[in-house]
Amino acid sequence: MKQNLLKFFCCTVSALLLFSFSSTVSSALELKDPSYYERFQGKGISISVYNWGEYLSNGSDGLMNINEEFTKLTGIKVNYTNFATNEELYAKMKSGGSNYDVIFPSDYMIARMIKEEMLAPLHRENLPNETYLNPLFEENSYDPGNVYSLPYTWGTVVIIYNKEKIKEPVDSWNILWDEKYKNEILMFSNSRDSFGIALKTLGYSLNSEDPKQLREAANLLKEQKPLVQAYVMDQIFDKMEANEAILAPYYAGDTLAMMDSNEALAVAVPKEGTNLFVDAACIPANSTNQEAAEMYINFLNEPQVAADNIEYIGYSTPNLAAFDLLDEATQNNEIIYPSDEILAQSEQFINLSDETNLRMDQLWTEVLASKGNFAAWGLAPIITILGLFAVKNWIKYNRRKKRRRMIE
Amino acid sequence: MSKWLSKGYTGLILTFLYAPIFVLILYSFNQSKSRGHWTGFSFRWYERLFHNDAILNAFITTLLVAVIASVIATVLGTAAAIGIHNMKKRSRTVVMNVTYLPVINPEIVMGVSLMLLFVLMGIKFGLLTLVLAHITFNLPYVILSVMPKLRQMDHYLFEAAMDLGCTPWQAFAKVTLPEIMPGVVTGFLMAFTFSLDDFNISYFVSGDKFQTLPILIYSMTRKRVSPEINALSAIIFIVVLLILILVNINDARLEKEQRKKEDALR
């Protein structure tokens, strides 16, 4: 029997292995300068790439398998692993147990990493494809002049709503505070995005460090709390698609995926302005293969590669040549590529001071802990039960003691 | 009435246990990426799964780590259990309490402390640290499942075997090991399953080259977990179910043979 099991197990594993190696091969790439990629051929180099989950085209839907193509072209092996939050990426790098060569932090995290000297300045001569970069992204508040980073994707935070349930025009963050939609509203479960929205609603900068403004924003979020059905991240897809909620803020690229599966959904850009987020490719200061890493970043910016990749991700590309390769419907989509007017109103996150980060975290805990939360109705019964237990045991103990004394 | 009630109760519990798995299997056949919206039947996620290197690599890493770690932990744990069993009473109590500690200790504490230890020792995170960490947290489970079997075992069997001319090694292999085998197998299976679904500890000690399936799935939560994971989970569930059925059939067969033999003897 044991042999049977073993055989079965081996078969499964080998079948999986076979399948994984027989993946389809796409057509040849058109490159401006193929000789650039030949430098490391046959040298057996490998680089470690640390990216967000589901954030690189992997060969599905007829799109390019980017890592495979890169290895085929350059002979550099790619170790590809994923993270879920900027903070996770930061913690992993700080722990010092692993060396990454290419990472993809967001704006405010890039600023923080630059400040802490965790990133290496990029060598321009190794990045000829930087010429495709949209001039709009040449001056970033998190990394002026893109010394340490090259933008990978960008997008805005928009409001997604169910147009069958909400008849009034949606054009302002204020609707997230409308009593009419009590228990139908979703909100971000991370402090930075939530505070950004509250600050924008109040007409302040979303990078505000003023304690008074932050306090006001926290009060606004507390006011909103009774109306909010849930604080979520990716569960928003399920809830909006299944009509469990009808109103939520989210990242523009992802709202398109939701609209695909539920036709009742629509998107609005708030008139108060919104957050323009950028995820960029960076090289950690302790990378041992900087040149190979730069080759990878440059490859990601080949027009065809970037176009396939952005089609897979669904966010917006800062690569102008890739933008030209997209179909017209995408190019003209006001949600993914908003007008200059909206962009002018939008703000990028920058890294806040430690003091402000701490204050924001405290205020956020306060918001989540305010009335109607688990602490209020959940803790009381638990304490009561524990208390009863303690009393019972104490009585038992005393009785036993008395009995023992009587026996003696 | 009470029979009807107990049946209903069992049914309710089974529904509760299996409803999520059935929903997951159902949605692995969904046409669209949505988890809340049924758009049609298709096999596309299964097809995609076999072309998704990231998921397959993570799955293979998970299996590899689980197999290596649980085998080593079983060997080490069994040896440790025998050693502890033969200790004097006081030191045995002390060692057993120390063994219990990692089981009660929150996994996250274990993860952080292992991470700090590896960094301090200058070991780069990778397959080695993953396997070492998994062996570490699997060991107590193996020891704890072998110990009761050792206690149940007749202590004089081993000595009798020696008296009859066995070398200590032979006595161990032919007498002790078969006696405690159920405990060893239980320990191995526990170690294996714990390894498969560990997230907390792997999260802290996985490096830039290897990631396990739970880490990969967690990393998808910004954009949404891909339905290929549903397909993979469905396959794993079916495989486990098949193995269980096969084992049960085999056991039933063995039992029948045993009974036949006994009947023949009579």
Quote the distance between the C-alpha of residue B87 and its chain's center.
Answer: 28
Q: What is the pLDDT of residue A185?
A: 95
**Nearby residues of A184 by Cβ (< 8 Å), 6 or more positions away:** A165, A229, A245, A246, A247
d(CA A394, nearest CA chain B) in Å: 25
How far apart are alpha carbons B205 and A95 in whole angstroms? 10
Digit-coded pLDDT (tens) for A30-78: 787 888 999 999 899 999 999 999 999 998 888 999 999 999 999 999 9
Residue B8 pLDDT class (50, 70, 90 cuts) = very high
Beta bridge partners of A232: A188
**What amino acid occupies position B69?**
A
Residue A117 pLDDT class (50, 70, 90 cuts) = very high
Residue A1 pLDDT class (50, 70, 90 cuts) = very low
CB-nearest partner of B208 from A19, A85, A99: A99
Q: What is the pLDDT of residue A23?
A: 42
Mean pLDDT (chain A, rounded)? 88
Query: Is the pLDDT assigned to residue A26 strictly greater than 70?
Result: no
Digit-coded pLDDT (tens) for A269-319: 999 999 999 999 999 999 999 999 999 999 999 999 999 999 999 999 999
Q: What is the pLDDT of residue B19?
A: 93
Q: At A106, give phi and psi (nearest 5°).
A: -90, 170
pTM value > 0.90: no
ipTM of predicted complex? 0.85
Contact between chains at B53 and A67 (C-beta distance less than 8 A):
yes
Q: Which residues of A touch B119 (CB under 8 A)?
A: 95-97
Cβ–Cβ contact B44 with A under 8 A: no
Query: Strand pairing of A46-52 and A265-268?
Result: unpaired
Contact between chains at A85 and B124 (C-beta distance less than 8 A):
no
User: Could you count the other beta carbons within 10 Å of the beta carbon of residue A386?
Assistant: 10
A301 neighbors A36 (Cβ within 8 angstroms): no
**Nearby residues of B158 by Cβ (< 8 Å), 6 or more positions away:** B171, B172, B175, B176
Q: What is the pLDDT of residue A24?
A: 41
Hunting for tokens 């292999």 — which residue is that?
B173
Question: How would you write chain B as a 3-class SS string?
Answer: CHHHHHHHHHHHHHHHHHHHHHHHHHHCCECCCCCCCCCCECCHHHHHHCCCHHHHHHHHHHHHHHHHHHHHHHHHHHHHHHHHHCCCHHHHHHHHHHHHHHHHCCHHHHHHHHHHHHHHHCCCCCHHHHHHHHHHHHHHHHHHHHHHHHHHCCHHHHHHHHHCCCCHHHHHHHHHHHHHHHHHHHHHHHHHHHHHHCCHHHHHHCCCCCCCHHHHHHHHHHCCCCHHHHHHHHHHHHHHHHHHHHHHHHHHHHHHHHHHHHHHHC
How far apart are alpha carbons A229 and A248 in whole angstroms? 10
Q: At B187, give phi and psi (nearest 5°).
A: -60, -45
What is the percent of chain A where pLDDT is above 70? 91
CB-nearest partner of A1 from B34, B239, B247: B247
CB-nearest partner of A84 from B50, B59, B219: B219
Hunting for tokens 């990394």 — which residue is that?
A143
CA-based nearest residue in chain A for residue B221 = A234
Residue B174 pLDDT class (50, 70, 90 cuts) = very high
Mean pLDDT (chain B, rounded)? 92
**Nearby residues of A244 by Cβ (< 8 Å), 6 or more positions away:** A229, A238, B36
DSSP string of A332-376? T-TTTS--HHHHHH-B---PPPHHHHHHHHHHHHHHHHSSSSHHH
Query: Is the pLDDT assigned to residue B64 strictly greater than 80?
Result: yes
CA-based nearest residue in chain B for residue A188 = B222
What average pLDDT does range B238-255 have in this prediction? 92
